[in-house]
A and B are shown apart, each in its own frame.
Chain A
Amino acid sequence: MKMGKKTGEQTFQFANPPVIIATGTVAGPFEGQGPLAEEFDLVLGDLHNGENSFERAERSMLVQACRLALDHASRGSAEVDLFLAGDLLNQIISSSFTAATLSIPYLGIYGACSTVAEGLTLASMILDGGFAGAILVATSSHNATAERQYRYPTEYGGQRRPYQQWTVTGAAAALLGYTGHGPRVTAATVGKVVDMGCKDPLNLGAAMAPAAAETIACHFQDTGWDPDSFDLILTGDLGEIGFKLCRELLAEKDIHLGENFSDCGLLIYDREKQDVHAGASGCATAGLVAFGRLFRQFQRGELTRVLLVATGALHSPTSFLQGENIPCIAHAVRIEA
């Protein structure tokens, strides 16, 4: 079926591009020692954030990020029509408990680390479709909760592999509106699930790189834009290995990305001083960079066109143990000043 707002294979263009009105970001203590510390609203002093479990700590960060976004827009939660959120924990409990606290009509979403792009895409469609006037989009991850769920207890003394990434502790939220001032989401490319036979859950960057490459190539093909149309093309959390692989895969499709190509996973930490191996991962990686740094850069007028390509590995500990490959996805959203 050919619809007015869909162009090409997988891309949707918004007739009335929704506005990112305000954002809220909360980063963990380790992330606060990284080069982007200045770009976050709040840096925690303690991984527990005053709670008695890491799961509750993640939840409290997400609530804080949402409240910050609402405060920055001077709105109460009653003025928000929908809350779209997702995280990494089983049954997305961080998001659902946060939704209970905020008491905003809620749609839980799961896209692993691609959640921020999935949320922006869905929110933009709903706003552009005229179903809502204001939507809060949020995501979170916590190093200790993710490590425990996907790998080992936090105090387990196994060594990390050099291609492993470090799960970001943080939460990010953005308030999108039908009207207002701020950068706009003008188009979104929804990715297909890609399985390139990767099984190693310690090298997720490599598993996700093909999905990112497919989605980026598809966005260019669908829209007729090219890499030079953007100030910045930013993948989610590919990390060093995935980022190199993605560049190579795109070069094979004759898409050559230059200096304006980067990865959120390479930006959050100072990889010389902070021992995080291949870079950052987790839902909050793209969330913190997009709603922390990019949003501020748009406000300062430093950016005009950005393609944010958040990537997610959609496996579960069970699927991995049963020998399944790691299915991956990437969604792209075009944000313009």
Chain B
Amino acid sequence: MDWQTYLFAFLVGGGICFLCQLILDLTKLTLGYLLTGLTVLGGILGGLGLYDPLIKLAGGGATMPIISFGNSLAKGAIAEAEKTGVLGVLTGMFELTSTGITAAIIFSFLMALVTRPKG
């Protein structure tokens, strides 16, 4: 942990959001399309082993954007496949992403129990 990681976290994370905002404003693509596309991109980058170097450089700047979700899905599937063969693609799929998905489901459910939309 050093200050450079923080600098790159800000620059890389901000930069990704900067580009995404330009895509949203300059095309008719909606957020749903964009986020889906980013996840697919993450999966491909993960398959090619290209996203991890960015995580090493920028830390949170690379792990927070949704691209990281696609990357983690792919990495989980690949790692397990290397250990146990083709079936590993199925068993390893959510290996690395279960924290995010589980947390999102639990928090959503709890929030729905205690509050309602403000409008």
Residues of A whose CB lies within 8 Å of any CB of B are 47-48, 52, 54, 143-144, 153-155, 158-159, 200
Contact = CB atoms under 8 A, between A and B. Distances in A.
B28 A200 contact: yes
A313 B47 CA distance: 45
Contacts of B24: 159
A200 B27 CA distance: 13
Contacts of A54: 117, 119
A155 B117 contact: yes
A228 B10 CA distance: 61
B83 interface: no
B119 A144 contact: yes
Interface of B: 24, 28, 30-31, 116-119
A154 B119 CA distance: 5
Contacts of A155: 117-118
Contacts of B30: 158
Given A158-B30, A158-B31, A159-B24, A143 B119 contact: yes
A27 B24 CA distance: 33
A47 B116 contact: no
B119 A47 contact: yes
Contacts of A153: 117
A52 B119 CA distance: 12
Given A158-B30, A159-B24, A200-B28, A52 B117 contact: no
Contact of B117 (A154, A158, A200): A154
Contacts of A200: 28
Contact of B118 (A52, A154, A159): A154
14 contacts: A47-B119, A54-B119, A144-B117, A144-B119, A153-B117, A154-B117, A154-B118, A154-B119, A155-B117, A155-B118, A158-B31, A159-B24, A159-B31, A200-B28
